[in-house]
Structure 1
Amino acid sequence: MPSSSSSDESSKRSVLFVRMIHFGIEIGVAMKVMAFWIWLETQGFQEIMRKILLHDDKFLTLLAKEAEDILSFLKQLSKNPISPDLMRFTPKLAEHFLSLNVILADKEKALKGITEIYNGVCCVVLKDILERMGNQITEGNFSPLQKVKKLGSEKDGSRAKPIAPYVGSKLNPSAKEWNPVTERAAEENRCLFLTFSNGYPLTESQISRFFTMNYGSCVERVYVHWPEPKDQGAPPLFGKVVFTASYIPAMILNGKTEAKFWVDAKPLWGKRFKLKKRSGNK
């Protein structure tokens, strides 16, 4: 079975980022949190995006707040190790042999790596995602991070800030948990039309499990079309998956018109669901 491609990882990041925005995390905070998580991937936190997506919004909020607190501590470039109280949830996403305190021991190096990802990935890729969503783009959301400076260095009489300020930056305290049941779009805007390779059909449960394992609890229902008459045993060739929100299929496709997945070693293609125009309609 082919391994996950960089496109798959990019789509997971997109879904996770937009999910944070939807339930009330400020754009600027979400971008910095994403930079931290992407950096953790480079340090051995394998499949961290997929693991985060498997959790509910409450746990995701706790993870995002914890990431913000860790970045606030790193910004101080203190010689003291990070308190275990600041890292109660994030270590659960790592393999047993990984120690977050060891990874973050060199705070200056960690900040430099996170800053490079923020400037080189988040400010480009995530900005493109927001533009596709039609969000208002402001300079405050995409202000570049300052370069990391040596511990204790000062400029104009004040301590240098190696990364954009986190102290005082908070997750939106008045934000409500996003409810996909009450705030969802029309079904045709939440669908991916699926096609199977001839002779390699998939069941509803296989498809639902695949998207849930990779993008979290985002599937409302799956429909597989079985040709009539069913007693002849002709395999299904197409179906559709309905998601809980309209942004999910868009982020999974990640700007492409069609995406290919591998589900239980079988190929699956997905593209946006388009309603056929009735004759006579303009």
Structure 2
Amino acid sequence: MAPITLEELYQFHKIDRKVFSCLVINLARNPAQSLLVMALWLWLENIGFPNIIPMLANFPNTLINALADEAETCLEWLGLENRRIPNNGGLPLTSTLIHSQISLQFFTQKRFTVIASIKATLSKICTRIFTDILQHIFGSTSLAPSPQNLLIVPGFPHPLFGSFIIPPTHLEELDLFDPRIWDNKRVCDDVNDDDKTMFLTFSRGFPVTEDEVSHFLTSRYGDCIKVLNMGNSETGNQVLFATMILNNVETVDEILSGKYIAKFRVNGKHIWIRKYERRD
């Protein structure tokens, strides 16, 4: 079956492209930040807040600008810790837009799910549907092909959301007759293992076994573990650390419950768990 053309893809995302153009052209907002704002709004639609972007398309520029400011507040919030949430939740306009009360606490509780979902949305959607608009903004010199024939947007890699690299035009895999593109998969279901990996540490002198860790976590969070790797012993037979890949990124946020480090007690022994961060 024939793949879709760029024109068909752009037509399918006509409203998304209109709102993005408003952000970067009419309002002259930072393109990298605007990509993140669009990814955030697309994710909110994906999790059950429908028609956000179509509603935005009918708003005046001043209101779109104010809502984009709130979206950037959410993005910034994902990298902060122990910040006091305003009494109004910090997102009054967004709450009005989606007809549901939403606050910055929502993003604190779902921090790593949101981060991973935005990364996936940037990579799988935004890199495809906004290419020509970005080329128009930056011009052929600023947005020039790299030696790998890729187009790289200034402002990335982002410390939280990683790289944004526009691939060469190649849409063979986007077949409108392929049922896989119409399934009910959530954005956060399609993230890499790094986004679902956690780092565990144990108290010296209180050895914890793999079975104890596995049983404790599955009893609390269900069948959540994809891979559990206990670290090498440093003193005798005791293991002092482990890495764990979970089945989905949402369990990362369940374990941390809005904190950067979660502390548990298993059979009288402490376990500390935090999000794993790769250091290349």
TM-score normalised to structure 2 length: 0.45
TM-score normalised to structure 1 length: 0.45
